[in-house]
Amino acid sequence: MRKLLALFLVVVLVFPLALATLSVISVSAWALDRSFYEDLLSDTRLYEVLLSQDLPNYFNRRLAREIDDQLPAAALGKALREVVTPEYLRGQTLRLVDDALDAIEGRDATLDLYLNIAPIKDVLRGEGGQRFARALASDLPPCAPGQELLASGSKIIRCRPSDVSVDRVVTDIANQLPSYLEGLPDQIELNRNTINLRAEMRGAPVWLIGGSVLDFAIVVLVFITGSFWFIAALIGSEDGRERLLWLGWSLIVPAALIFLIGLAINTDFSLGWVRFGLNEARFEGVEYSVEFRQALLDVSRIALNTIANGFLAAGAVAGAAAIALITWGLGTPSERRMAPALAHPPRATVQPAPQSQQQPPAQNE
């Protein structure tokens, strides 16, 4: 009965908890590692692909929203490529990563994700404004009959008259650009509302909010898992040898599963799922370009390798510990069970000595 109860605890509690604990330990090797994200996102080739189509389209949608859709999207996109550089995008991306990790680690109480377009506005106010104006003017559509050059409330022309040269339009746009920039915000918010982590975790201890949540989760999981692990082995065993074997066999199964997960992550099967996810992904309802999806897939290969190494390491260490416990248990002799001593030793039974047949007394003759 005790062994059945121990087996029940191992299957229902120890296995799931051990899998969760080893998974969190595997993830902790890279999840909050800033260098991991910096290495992945520092390649400027990723942003060169992003600049070719996806980012201009995004700026078209967001900036057009700020100026009431007064400029043609295609023309604005081509002009933006004159002033937005891969280095700028790399810096913005790494800053977003730092802000997110600062919020998770408790260094910043709020999480506000945004694109800082103030540097772009500074470039447009300088010599970059002329390049922007020429690119925009060359792609402005001809004005339709009766169409006004400026929409109501607009700061910059939205079409090119047929009797006006491109150079003249460039000059007009360059002159209108300063007032146009005044109407643009310095930041484009990426999350609708600022997340206040301290308010969300109201009632949580200050040391938890200010510390690493992931480290705290690992400590809690290790304590809970270790407790049930030892209790199950204690219930199912009758001596030290059996206890070591219970500990080893109950750990080797989740360790092997974690190790197999690490092997599976490094296969084309996992990469296929990443490819499927990228194909189905939409950003504000718009799918990514083929070139950008391929660039993200190349980055994912590197990320999957790092993620797989975390699972492989955790599974290997736990598996080695399980094998050591099993080997130790097999080499430990079973404890000999002693018969319980009786409270009162049995009393010796005294058998009466056999009586010899008495000879009748001799009669005197």
Q: What is the pLDDT of residue 58?
A: 72
User: What are the structure tokens assigned to 283, written together?
Assistant: 């950003």
Question: In whole angstroms, what is the distance from residue 230 CA to residue 228 CA?
Answer: 6
Q: What is the pLDDT of residue 206?
A: 46
Q: What is the pLDDT of residue 13?
A: 93
CA distances from 63 to 70, 180, 246 (A): 10, 11, 64
The alpha carbon torsion through 115, 121, 123, 129 (nearest 10 deg) reads: 130
Question: In whole angstroms, what is the distance from residue 6 CA to residue 236 CA?
Answer: 5
195 near 114, Cβ under 8 Å?
no
Question: In whole angstroms, what is the distance from residue 154 CA to residue 151 CA?
Answer: 5
Question: If pLDDT is split at 50, 70 and 90, which confidence band does 365 have?
Answer: very low
Beta bridge partners of 160: 142
Degrees, nearest 5: CA angle 195-196-199 = 135
- Write down the pTM of the prediction: 0.71
Question: If pLDDT is split at 50, 70 and 90, which confidence band does 328 have?
Answer: very high
pLDDT surpasses 50 at 27: yes
Query: What value does the mean pLDDT of the chain take?
Result: 80
Question: If pLDDT is split at 50, 70 and 90, which confidence band does 324 have?
Answer: very high
Task: Work out the percent of the chain whose per-residue pLDDT is above 90.
Answer: 25
As a three-state string, the secondary structure of 214-263 is HHHHHHHHHHHHHHHHHHHHHHHCCCHHHHHHHHHHHHHHHHHHHHHHHH
* 249-290 confidence digits (pLDDT tens): 999 999 999 999 999 998 888 888 888 888 887 766 667 778
CA distances from 191 to 7, 47, 104, 110 (A): 48, 21, 16, 12
Dmax (CA) for the chain in angstroms is 183
Q: So where are the chain's domains?
A: 1-32+212-333, 34-202
E runs forming strands in the chain: 110-111, 114-116, 187-189, 195-196, 282-283, 286-287
Q: Which helix (DSSP H) or strand (DSSP E) does residue 145 occupy?
A: none
